[in-house]
Amino acid sequence: MNYIGGKYKLLPQLLPLFPSNISMFYDIFGGGANVSLNVNSEFVLYNDIVPYVSNMFNEIKGEDADLCLNKIKQLVTDYKLSKTNREGFEKMRDDYNKGNKSWDMFFTLMCFSFNNQYRFNNKQEYNSSFGKHKSCFSEVTERKFIKFMDRLNNIDISFLNKDFREVDYSNADENDLVYFDPPYLISCGNYNDGKRGFKGWNQQDDIDLMNLCDKLDEQGTRFAISNVLEHKGLKNELLINWSKKYNINYLNNNYNNCNYQENNKINKTVEVLITNY
């Protein structure tokens, strides 16, 4: 069940590769919380470096879904939002950047943004473009939101907003699973170029993550990493060589038209889940 956007479309393949007995599930690059809210575990620790996402989840957990929906619908009415009203969207975006950073403003902006994606500039101003003729708060979105709220309010989940290196893993043991879905070094660089108001992603980050996984393995903690070994003729050689120490599960996916400005070509993509169990 896909709750709130995000790049992850491989849940049906991913979840069966997780252990069946998980005490604490660490979702370190939580994004849209699709994995956090679908995994079968006793507890979930969600973390994401973008504070507006984790803050939104934290603010609405425990709230009534109907009251939350009323806030969203009121904003749609107040700003006269639709698939064609660019002015209303831009006015809302401007108000958000001037300080009205409530969770409902953020979520509603996502609904009407291009591809429902949130983006920020170096000043951490919301700068996603308008999703004309495509993006809106639809009945489908409403149903997903209700399911999302129901799941969120019925699991034991806590939220962090830290760099992956700053998360405390010292209490993680063989009953837990630490899951990483980092920016992929060789694909879709618009979210890892360091020009979106948050820290970018480079090869040193890949190295630090691999070293962290080695430490988790040494302390007896299970880990899993989603990543891409090959994309558009590029290979992440460092990751390929490192992954040979562990188990490599190949997933079926093609990042077709990752950049909407490119021609729609089918490119070979080797996406994997690397695990130590």
Percent of the chain with pLDDT over 70: 87
The answer to whether 17 and 273 have CB atoms below 8 angstroms apart is yes
pLDDT at 193 over 80: no
Whether residue 206 is contained in a domain is answered as: yes
pLDDT at 255 over 80: no
What CATH number is given to the structural domain containing 140?
1.10.1020.10
Whether residue 2 is contained in a domain is answered as: no
Judge if 192 and 109 occupy the same domain. Answer: no
Judge if 102 and 132 occupy the same domain. Answer: yes
The answer to whether 99 and 125 have CB atoms below 8 angstroms apart is no
Which tops the pLDDT comparison, 261 or 232? 232
Closest by CA position to 129, among listed 88, 77, 89: 89
pLDDT tens digit sequence for 65-123: 999 999 999 999 999 999 999 999 999 999 999 999 999 999 999 999 999 988 898 88
What CATH number is given to the structural domain containing 198?
3.40.50.150
Judge if 35 and 82 occupy the same domain. Answer: no
Judge if 48 and 137 occupy the same domain. Answer: no
Whether residue 3 is contained in a domain is answered as: no
Judge if 112 and 209 occupy the same domain. Answer: no
Whether residue 130 is contained in a domain is answered as: yes
Judge if 16 and 89 occupy the same domain. Answer: no
Residue found by looking up tokens 């709130």 in the block: 4
The answer to whether 68 and 149 have CB atoms below 8 angstroms apart is yes
Cα 276 from Cα 217, distance rounded (Å): 7
* Domain end among 94, 117, 149: 149
Judge if 73 and 202 occupy the same domain. Answer: no
pLDDT tens digit sequence for 4-54: 544 557 788 899 999 999 999 999 999 889 999 999 999 999 999 989 999
The number of distinct structural domains making up the chain is: 2
Q: Which domain holds residue 34?
A: 11-58+157-275
Judge if 142 and 253 occupy the same domain. Answer: no
* Domain end among 149, 165, 193: 149
Whether residue 167 is contained in a domain is answered as: yes
pLDDT of 35: 95
pLDDT of 230: 92
Q: Is the pTM of this model over 0.85?
A: yes
Burial readout 202-233 (b: 16 or more C-beta within 10 A, e: otherwise): eeebbeebbebbeebeeeebbbbbbbbbbbee
* Domain end among 115, 149, 183: 149
Question: What is the average pLDDT value for the chain, to the nearest integer?
Answer: 89
Whether residue 107 is contained in a domain is answered as: yes
**pLDDT band at residue 261 under the 50/70/90 scheme:** very low
Percent of the chain with pLDDT over 90: 75
Whether residue 17 is contained in a domain is answered as: yes
The sign of the CA dihedral 30, 184, 116, 196 is positive
Judge if 106 and 30 occupy the same domain. Answer: no
pLDDT of 268: 81
